[in-house]
Chain A
Amino acid sequence: MKNIVRAFVIALTLTGAVASAHTVKTNSENVKPTLLAGFPTPMCPPNDPNACGMGGNK
């Protein structure tokens, strides 16, 4: 049990490190933070003509 938890934590950390390295390599203008929330992250500028697709489904 102890080893499984430790392996899981190490896997989490390594995944985070790889993702962070990938983010740094990618052009910073393309990278946008994502809030870990149930609501979608608004990824377009506030004056987007399509309102980022909001209400498009209605």
Chain B
Amino acid sequence: MNGTLITNSIAIGEIILCVVALSCLLLRKQGRQYKVLCLLIGFRGLFDVALLPLYMFGGYGIEKHLAYRLYFYGFWSGYAIESLLGLWLIYSVFNLAMAPLQGLKKLGRLVFCWAAGISLAVALFSALTPHLTQMSFIVNFVSQLERTQSVLTLCLLLFVTFAIRPMGLTFSSRVFGVSLGLGMQATSQLVSAAWTAHFQGMYTTINAATGIASCVILLLWTTYFALPEPKRRIVVLPTTSPFLRWNQISQALGDEPGFVAVGGIPPELFAPAELEIMRRASIKMADQPKVVMPQSQTA
């Protein structure tokens, strides 16, 4: 079995797995809850179907230089879109995981938006090098975006794994399954990015390895969505739990404050009934004998 045959089989296998995973998600009626995951898998499936003729018939039915150029631009544009969808998916998984802790969810969303915005800006500006070419811009932008996205994904996976109990989840929950798949994808991308420096060409071991990793992740997601999900547990936290405390603090953050009038209020602002209550109260206070406080208490 030669390298080309393996790569071709992986490419076709990925398209089939995309269809299976998407069907599983939709049949389980999870399309609304995991709409970004559906979009990502659907986009990858379509992207693969579009690239398949170029890849299979480049140099055979289509002139190979033209086929490679089309493949190159199609591949990197699709990759950039997929990276942005990946960021959106991390955000949506975080929202699903944090559903019971609304305060922390609000705070986390704010932090995430800043982190994602800075990642995008850093990726864009680091791609603008002095001797800018189309190739270097695309590759630098995408590699930087991929690296920051992978780091964010691993942070999310660590958070979901270690804070799984306060969120009412288990390791069989779909939120954890999606996070685990994303984490495996991030690690594989980081490892393969370090490895690709030693390879040149299309039919390499690294390409076959990343293809297999992609298929394994799709299989993992299919398994999680095919199996019934355990119900989310009622979140019971001790009163001393830092999650509870920070959730309460976060819920209060950013709320509109109340206002108290402290002086200089004209009497016209009050209703007649309020004025009457105040008048009676002041008469009552004037009639009461003054309480002489003991020296020790007044001091």
Complex CA–CA separation, A47 to B70 (angstroms): 11
Residues of A within 8 A of B71 (CB): 42, 54
- Interface size of B by CB at 8 A reads 75
Complex CA–CA separation, A44 to B76 (angstroms): 12
User: Residue A9 contacts which of B158, B200, B215 (CB distance < 8 angstroms)?
Assistant: B158
**Interface range for A:** 35 or more
In the complex with contacts A31-B193, A41-B196, A13-B154 CB distance below 8 A: yes
User: Residue B7 contacts which of A20, A34, A40, A45 (CB distance < 8 angstroms)?
Assistant: A40
Residues of B within 8 A of A58 (CB): 59-60
Interface residues of A in 1-58 (CB under 8 A from B): 1-2, 5-6, 9-10, 12-13, 15-17, 19-20, 22-23, 26-28, 30-48, 51-58
Q: Interface 1/0s, chain B 111-137, versus A by CB < 8 A?
A: 000000000000000000000001100
Contact A51 B58 (CB under 8 A): yes
Contact B193 A33 (CB under 8 A): yes
Contact B187 A15 (CB under 8 A): yes
Residues of B within 8 A of A19 (CB): 187, 190-191, 193-194
Q: Is the interface of A mostly helix, strand, loop or mixed?
A: loop
Contact A39 B55 (CB under 8 A): yes
B250 in contact (CB, < 8 A)? no
- Nearest residue (CB) in B for A34 is B192
B98 in contact (CB, < 8 A)? no
- Nearest residue (CB) in B for A12 is B187
Q: How far is the CB of B7 from chain A (nearest CB, A)?
A: 6
Contact A38 B10 (CB under 8 A): yes
Contact B190 A38 (CB under 8 A): no
In the complex with contacts A19-B190, A32-B196, A54-B64, A9-B183 CB distance below 8 A: yes
Complex CA–CA separation, A55 to B68 (angstroms): 9
Complex CA–CA separation, A40 to B212 (angstroms): 11
Contact B14 A37 (CB under 8 A): yes
Q: How far is the CB of B18 from chain A (nearest CB, A)?
A: 9
Contact B150 A16 (CB under 8 A): yes
B241 in contact (CB, < 8 A)? no
B270 in contact (CB, < 8 A)? no
Residues of A within 8 A of B7 (CB): 40
B280 in contact (CB, < 8 A)? no
Residues of B within 8 A of A32 (CB): 139, 143, 193, 196-197
Can you offer 29 A-B residue contacts whose CB atoms are under 8 A?
A1-B171, A12-B157, A12-B187, A15-B190, A16-B150, A19-B193, A23-B194, A31-B193, A32-B139, A33-B139, A33-B142, A34-B192, A36-B214, A37-B44, A37-B211, A38-B12, A40-B7, A42-B72, A43-B202, A45-B135, A46-B68, A46-B135, A47-B65, A48-B68, A51-B67, A51-B68, A53-B201, A54-B55, A57-B203
The 8 A-B pairs of least Cβ separation, nearest first, read A55-B59, A38-B14, A40-B207, A55-B64, A51-B68, A33-B143, A34-B192, A30-B197
Further contacts, 12 of them, CB under 8 A, given A35-B189, A38-B214, A42-B72: A9-B180, A23-B193, A33-B147, A33-B196, A34-B196, A37-B44, A38-B211, A40-B204, A47-B69, A51-B58, A54-B68, A56-B59
